[in-house]
A and B are shown apart, each in its own frame.
Chain A
């Protein structure tokens, strides 16, 4: 085993905001990202957007993924996005998944969520998305 990878691993935060207690999806995605060589910070259940954004700031992640199955996705994503802008980290990629109707997915993208994945998405697709999005942002990014 070589000690240090040639490039720094991508850091992603996977969070479960809100009240639903179903974290199987979040864990599957966290595991898939881990297996793709990323460092995944998992925050556990029942988090508020405040907790998630504050953790993302301290952990200096390149992407935040939220899993929401409670139906409160519009409110929770909106709150998360506005906190990110308020606290100067609107440049972090924000994606998510859960039981999200098509119209709502469009609304989320319109409010600035970078990608929405619905049930049945192969994990490989999410991994590829995160890699590509992080790479793209690094190329265009200020840092």
Chain B
């Protein structure tokens, strides 16, 4: 395939080329690195928003409403929605798009489903690269909807400028809100399904915990109520996102975020790349793993052997 031609078509905003380019990057097929080399320099212009929260909290419906609101502001929007892959077969049922089908005739909207392909943290292995592609293709806003997360999957926070954590009434008391992990990375809290009983208690539990924390310079994360199925509370959420972006632009915070995000992306990608290479370079891999399982060899030694194997392997 002619990767240069594909990259040019992506930059010209050709939707089919963009769809194909995402598949190339996602599969790690031949040409994926070249494609990223060509397109990455054109990214960096988009506003990126992460939407995370537990399964069934209403993330996809909320993303659908955000797309609607951003389109009303005449911003073009791309969304990446991630669902889990099966740990047994590698297959996946990607159903987030069901909530977003009404934007199908709008050329200013591009939606892509991704399977997490076994990666922990809430994103798929190539989500960050796919976001760069959508950014390079010229979308004003790129939204990332994570897999339904538990308490500790926070990868999205290091990849998107603003992180929205979607909660629902009855999802725990102030002790839950006090815990480390996902509760700490939200730039904006949303209590969705706020027409249900317990919404007030949920909001005050989060607010009470936020008051215990050392406040960020001139910013406390807002706690908003939405009812995404009805479209209630979306305008204040868009305003809060604008507010957070304005805060980021002050005092070089955005620059700091970009550097931290780049480092996290490098560590993540490099870690997996080196693991793959080490496993491939390891002589008699199965035998080593059996020896590890039978306690004949301990992990630190096997790691030294694997690292040596990379060093001694012929250059690809």
Contacts and interface: CB of A to CB of B under 8 A. Distances in A.
Interface of A: 1-5, 7-9, 11, 30-31, 33-44, 47, 50-51, 54-55, 57-60, 87-89, 143
Specify which of B15, B91, B93 lies most central, judged by the most chain A CB atoms within 10 Å of its CB. Answer: B91
Contact of B86 (A2, A11, A35, A41): A35
**Dominant secondary structure of chain B at its interface with chain A:** mixed
B97 A9 contact: no
A33 B91 contact: yes
A143 B1 contact: yes
Contact of B97 (A30, A41, A87, A88): A41
A54 B104 contact: yes
Contact of A34 (B92, B118, B125): B92
Given A44-B98, A60-B20, A55 B104 contact: yes
B19 A40 contact: no
Specify which of A30, A38, A57, A60 lies most central, judged by the most chain B CB atoms within 10 Å of its CB. Answer: A60
A31 B86 CA distance: 11
B89 interface: yes
Interface string B92-127: 111101100100110000111101011100000100
B22 interface: yes
A42 B104 contact: no
Interface stretch (B26-34, B192-200, B221-229, B253-261): B26-34
A5 B87 CA distance: 11
B110 A47 contact: no
A29 to B, nearest CB: 11
A57 B98 contact: no
Nearest to B83: A39
Contacts of A87: 16
A126 B16 CA distance: 27
B230 interface: no
Contact of A39 (B105, B111, B115, B119): B115
A50 B104 contact: yes
A60 B91 contact: no
A12 B117 CA distance: 16
Contacts of A3: 117-119, 125, 272
A2 B1 CA distance: 28
Contacts of B91: 9, 33-40
B105 A4 contact: no
B145 to A, nearest CB: 14
Given A4-B125, A42-B94, A42-B95, A59 B112 contact: yes
A41 B113 CA distance: 7
Given A8-B27, A41-B113, 16 more contacts: A3-B119, A5-B117, A31-B93, A34-B86, A34-B91, A35-B89, A39-B85, A39-B91, A39-B115, A40-B93, A42-B93, A42-B94, A51-B104, A58-B19, A58-B111, A59-B19
